[in-house]
Amino acid sequence: MVYEAKEGHIPSAYSIVDIILSLYAARIENETKKASEKDIFALSKGHAGAALYAVLAYFKYLSKDELWDYCKTNSILGGHPDRCKVPGVVLSTGSLGHGIASAVGIAYANKLSKKDSRVFVLVGDGEMEEGSYWEAIMLAKDLELDNLSVICDYNRSQLKYSYHHNYVKAMSAHGWSACSVNGHDFKAMSELWKKQNHELQFILAETTKGYGVERMIAEGDNAWHRRTPTQLEYEEILEELSR
Amino acid sequence: MNQLAEADNRICVMVGDIGAFGFRGFAEKFPGRFLNVGIREQSMVSFAAGLAIQGFKPAVHTITPFLIERAFEQIKVDFGYQKLGGCFVSVGSGFDYAALGCTHHSYSDIAMMRTIPGSHVFYPASPVELDAILKYCFSHSILSYIRIPARNSQAMIAKNLSWSLGDFYPIRHQENPDAILITSGGLVDTCVEALPYIHSGVNVSILHLPTLQPLNETKISQYLKSTHAHIFTIEDHSVRGGLADIIRDLILKNQIKTKSFQACGVESEFIRSYGNFQELCAHVGIDPKSIAEKINLLCINP
């Protein structure tokens, strides 16, 4: 996708793809629920949209061929997802700190409509620097919601530039049930998603930007955050991922 | 609002720590559908978008600068870009909170809201218009902004005209006017109050535009085309991006012949004086006497 388009955030996508795929498999696409009460996933860190598109294609919201048009002029798949264009996308995101508050709104709306549907929203650790994130966190607590899970993609790339924060402790202090999980451990995450939870839940998913590709991890974020691989790098990365 | 909410159980009201007292009846009658979200304007707007995604019809209300200017990106992205219906209702526009200073003034709200594709912008002058506009907004899935003035227009109330989208209201109609004052919302009565100061030989018409976007361009330009008058726009808003630009664009686009075009409103400045609304109008040059002086100057000594 990104190699074809020469645009996109590959390391961010590799950081979250295991989270999204395991969540869709264990929860969102769980066929035991009736369609109107399907659980909802929203990607607040829209710049990792490529990972969401791949998962949506896997679950047949999109055709796999459409992925090759990613970021091209007439494609429905942009650098940040657009709910008006892409089937299965709940929120149009890209500006950080918006999706989280809209997810609180969706969870509240589900309460008003008495829908038994849980909302999962994925934010970035960098995104948690936004003031509107903390507005939304406090609002959800004030509204006594119990049908919302916030998953933080804790890849620490942004933390190089700011203080180290203990987000589990901070979210607990705000009255949320908070825990951490290895964001690349498919089995552990699947078990976590399957648990029926009736509280405000914060999950710190410990992840690695560029997970699965040694050179992206070794060369780091400055080199790869928004870089497209050369043809040789692309072939080597594909080979590494298929191992 | 109670009647509308009674008829449509998807209507919800969110306020940013104002008006909770006034809405207590609503809150009791429609449990869960009134929320004082608190002093969290940005997340209040995104939150309302979440409700709209799930099929609700949110109205979001607080003080103009904090609703429109502070949370503008949320309105643009979460409602405009996502094509969601939401009704944004503000009080304290222009310099209605005169003595509270520039943090509580807003002369850019109309200009900003007009730039969002598909947005509807309203500045009513009376409760009857407000009711009709709210009804319209909730029966269409649109992004709308309603600027509520601090004072009701007695002139508009006396006229008892029924509201329709994009239309203008002749508060005073004169055949062959020398000048036409075009205004909206909170300054309708100010224009009427200017009349006693205007020279007796000068004919002045006054139009009120409660809808600033979209306009019924055909109807308004037809009215103006036959007049060949001095056109004045009177607004408690910046002369950039508000009523002045709306009417100037209409005049140019429709090749309307005028004697002159006079934009009266807030020039490029922060109004740092305090006092009351009328005093700040005088500071800006949009009080009855200043308006009359400008008209007399142009029409008596052309």
Question: What digits encode the pLDDT tens for the residues A76-103?
Answer: 999 999 999 999 999 999 999 999 999 9
CA B239-B244-B246 angle, to 5 degrees, is 125
The predicted pLDDT at position B301 comes to 66
pLDDT over 90 percentage in chain A? 67
pLDDT for A218 equals 83
Could you tell me which of A118, A109, A167 has the C-alpha nearest to residue B51?
Answer: A109
Comparing B48 with A209, which gets the higher pLDDT? Answer: B48
User: From the CA of A93, how many Å to the nearest CA of chain B?
Assistant: 8
3-state secondary structure of A202: strand
The residues, ordered by sequence, that sit 6+ positions from B86 with a Cβ below 8 Å of its Cβ are: B48, B49, B52, B57, B58, B59, B60, B75, B79, B143, B144
Q: Average pLDDT for residues B63-67, to the nearest whole number?
A: 97
B285: left (phi over 0), alpha (psi -120 to 50) or beta: left
**What is the complex's ipTM, to 2 decimals?**
0.94
Question: What percentage of chain A has pLDDT greater than the value 70?
Answer: 97
Q: How far apart are CA A67 and CA A29, in angstroms?
A: 20
Q: What is the pLDDT of residue B58?
A: 98
Tokens of B284: 């800006």
Q: Across the interface, which of A84, A102, A110 has its CB nearest the CB of B49? A: A102
Averaged over A48-67, what is the pLDDT?
94
Which of B12, B50, B55 is closest, CB to CB, to A102? B50
Instruction: Please name the helix (run of DSSP H) or strand (run of DSSP E) that holds residue B234, with its range, or none.
Output: strand B230-238
Chain segment B74-129, per-residue pLDDT in tens = 999 999 999 999 999 999 999 999 999 999 999 999 999 999 999 999 999 999 99
Question: What count of residues does chain B have?
Answer: 302
Question: Which pLDDT band, with edges at 50, 70 and 90, does B199 fall under?
Answer: very high
Is the predicted pLDDT of residue B138 greater than 60, yes or no? yes
Which chain A residue has its CA at the smallest distance from B83's CA? Answer: A84
pTM reported for the whole predicted model? 0.95
Residues in chain A: 243
pLDDT range class, residue B291, cuts 50, 70, 90: very high
What is the pLDDT, as a whole number, of residue A215?
A: 84
Kind and range of the H or E element at B264?
strand B260-266
> Residue B46 is nearest to which of A83, A102, A131, comparing CB atoms?
A102
pLDDT of B302 reads: 55
Residue A61 reports pLDDT greater than 80 = yes
Q: Hey, is the C-beta of B81 within 8 angstroms of any chain A C-beta?
A: yes
Place of tokens 């909206």: B184
Question: Nearest-CA distance from B40 to chain A in Å?
Answer: 6
Grade residue B40 by pLDDT with cuts at 50, 70 and 90. Answer: very high
Distance CA B190, CA B154 (A): 11
Decide: A203 and A179 in contact? Cβ < 8 Å.
yes
Is the pLDDT higher at B273 or at A158? B273
Asked if B67 and B110 count as a contact pair (C-beta separation under 8 A), the reply is: no
Select the residue of A82, A102, A112 nearest B47 (Cβ to Cβ).
A102
Looking at every residue in chain B, the average pLDDT score rounds to 95
Given this model, what pLDDT does residue A241 score? Answer: 87
Q: How far is A131 from chain B (nearest CA, A)?
A: 9
- Which range (A149-158, B33-42, B163-172) has the least confidence? A149-158
Assess contact for B78 and B49: CB atoms under 8 A: yes
Kindly give the interhelix angle for A214-224 and A10-23, rounded to the nearest 10 degrees. Answer: 120
Q: Are A178 and A204 in contact (CB under 8 A)?
A: yes
B contact test, residue of A40, A108, A174 with most B CBs within 10 A: A108
Closest by Cα among A237, A158, A232, A205 to A17: A205
Task: Please report which confidence band the pLDDT of residue A114 belongs to, taking 50, 70 and 90 as the band edges.
Answer: very high
Of A204-213, B60-69, B136-145, B227-236, the range with the lowest mean pLDDT is A204-213
Q: What secondary structure does DSSP assign to B24-90, as a single string?
A: HHHHHHSTTSEEE--S-HHHHHHHHHHHHHTT-EEEEEEEHIIIIITTHHHIIIIIIITT--EEEEE
The pLDDT of residue A162 is above 90: no
Listed in sequence order, the residues at least 6 apart from B301 whose beta carbon sits closer than 8 Å to its beta carbon are none
Q: What is the pLDDT of residue A9?
A: 82
pLDDT at residue A140 is higher than 70 = yes
Split at pLDDT 50, 70, 90, the class of B212 is very high
Supply the pLDDT for residue A163. Answer: 60
Count CA atoms within 13 Å of residue B204 on its CB side. Answer: 26
Of B45, B51, B78, the CB nearest to A109: B51
What's the alpha-carbon Rg for chain B, to the nearest Å?
19
Cα–chain center distance at A10 = 13
Distance from CA of A226 to the nearest CA of B (A): 23
Contact state of A91 with B82 under an 8 Å Cβ cutoff: yes
Q: Does the beta-carbon distance from A95 to B77 stay under 8 Å? A: yes
User: Taking CA B67 as the corner, what is the angle to CA B64 and CA B70, rounded to the nearest 5 degrees?
Assistant: 105
Nearest to A104 among B50, B52, B77 (CB): B50
DSSP-based three-state secondary structure for A98: coil
The answer, yes or no, to whether residue A160 has pLDDT greater than 70, is: no
Residues 53-82 of A with CB under 8 A from B: 82
Among the ranges given (A163-172, B1-10, B29-38, B48-57), the one the predictor scored with the smallest mean pLDDT? A163-172
Q: How far apart are CA B154 and CA A59, in angstroms?
A: 61
Which DSSP string do the residues of B189-225 spell out, in sequence order?
Answer: HHHHHHGGGS-TT--EEEEE-SEEES--HHHHHHHHH
Which residues of chain A have a CB within 8 Å of the CB of B45?
A: 101
Cβ contact A30:A109 at 8 Å: no
Asked if A44 has any chain B CB less than 8 Å from its own CB, the reply is no
Residue the block writes with tokens 């109008």: B281
Chain A residues with beta carbon closer than 8 angstroms to that of B37: 139
Confidence of residue A159 (pLDDT cuts 50, 70, 90): low
Tell me whether A95 touches chain B (CB under 8 Å).
yes
Determine the pLDDT at residue A164.
Answer: 63
